Copies of this chain bind each other. A is one copy, B any other.
Amino acid sequence: MSAPVLKGDHRLPLYQRLADSLREDLRAGRWRPGDRVPSENELALDTGLAAGTVRQALAKLVDEGLLERRHGRGTFVRRPSFDQSLFRFFRFRSIDGTKPVPVSRIRACTIAIPSRYVREKLQMKEEGRAITIRRFRVIDDRPVLSEEIWLPEDRFAALMDLDLQKAGDLLYPIYDTECGQIVASAEEVLTVETADDDVRQSLGLEAAAPVIVIERLARSYDGTPLEWRRSWGRADQFSYHTEIR
């Protein structure tokens, strides 16, 4: 009886250790989003585990949102879809009632020294420089979001050679194709503020109108911070639904 070739604490259940191992492979970039991972059978043969145990490990990773199973086809690395996430909070609707793809309108893209707050969020060295983008998100010619984006220069230098104006409306695909950086997860913090002059003018608000502020830190598969952004949106268009059980 051959001992299964799995690293990790041998006191943990086998399906746990397999899940950990696969998660590690994912982090290390063994497969890219959209790729198929080995089938239950292959994994069972590789590891010497029973099919059911392998299945349990995969179920765990599906639960965590890392994998996706398709009956008859295989198990795939999930491609995280983001730019819908932000907008699920808002009642933004296009004139015809469909859910809109907000257009990006770049105001500025420069190299700058990040504030201490941003630097710590991005875990940058003290001397590091950053690329910063200011832009609007526009629906039907109405500005609905104002955004401030910060990226570490070393990873994203290729962006400066690009004409962002004619690039697409979504940044994460550009990060991927132009800079080889894949955003795999993110944390968001949502707060409410009263609009300052700049934001008020940007969004076309009256004085002292409340705004929603969303700070997002996006990370790669291995957990290193890739992008920090702060978005301002009209609070009167905001609503968040949740179910408690």
Q: In chain B, what residue has the closest Cβ to A208?
A: B208
Given A210-B235, A235-B210, answer yes or no on A242-B191 (Cβ-Cβ < 8 Å).
no
In the bound complex, residues from chain B placing their C-beta under 8 Å from that of A239 are 189-191
Question: Using an 8 Å CB-CB cutoff, how does the interface string of A63-81 with B read, 1 for contact, 0 for none?
Answer: 0111000000000001010
* Residue with the greatest number of chain B CB neighbours at <10 A, chosen from A194, A235, A240, A244: A244
A187 interface contact, C-beta 8 A: yes
Q: Find A240's partner among B66, B194, B209, B240 (CB 8 Å cutoff).
A: B240
Q: Find A244's partner among B186, B194, B235, B241 (CB 8 Å cutoff).
A: B186
Q: Are B236 and A192 in contact (CB under 8 A)?
A: yes
A188 interface contact, C-beta 8 A: yes
In the bound complex, residues from chain B placing their C-beta under 8 Å from that of A210 are 192-194, 210, 235
In the bound complex, residues from chain B placing their C-beta under 8 Å from that of A66 are 245
Q: Are A192 and B243 in contact (CB under 8 A)?
A: no
Q: Find A185's partner among B80, B188, B190, B244 (CB 8 Å cutoff).
A: B244
User: Whole-angstrom distance between the alpha carbons of A80 and B110 in the complex?
Assistant: 50
User: Whole-angstrom distance between the alpha carbons of A185 and B243 in the complex?
Assistant: 8
Q: Are B238 and A192 in contact (CB under 8 A)?
A: yes
Q: Chain A: interface secondary structure?
A: strand
User: Whole-angstrom distance between the alpha carbons of A140 and B165 in the complex?
Assistant: 53
User: Whole-angstrom distance between the alpha carbons of A179 and B225 in the complex?
Assistant: 52
A31 interface contact, C-beta 8 A: no
Q: Are A212 and B187 in contact (CB under 8 A)?
A: no
In the bound complex, residues from chain B placing their C-beta under 8 Å from that of A188 are 241-244
Given A185-B244, A245-B65, A245-B80, answer yes or no on A212-B192 (Cβ-Cβ < 8 Å).
yes
Q: Contacts A189-B241, A192-B236 known; list 7 others, CB within 8 Å.
A: A82-B244, A184-B245, A187-B241, A189-B239, A192-B192, A194-B210, A208-B208
The 3 closest A-B pairs by CB, nearest first: A210-B210, A65-B245, A192-B235
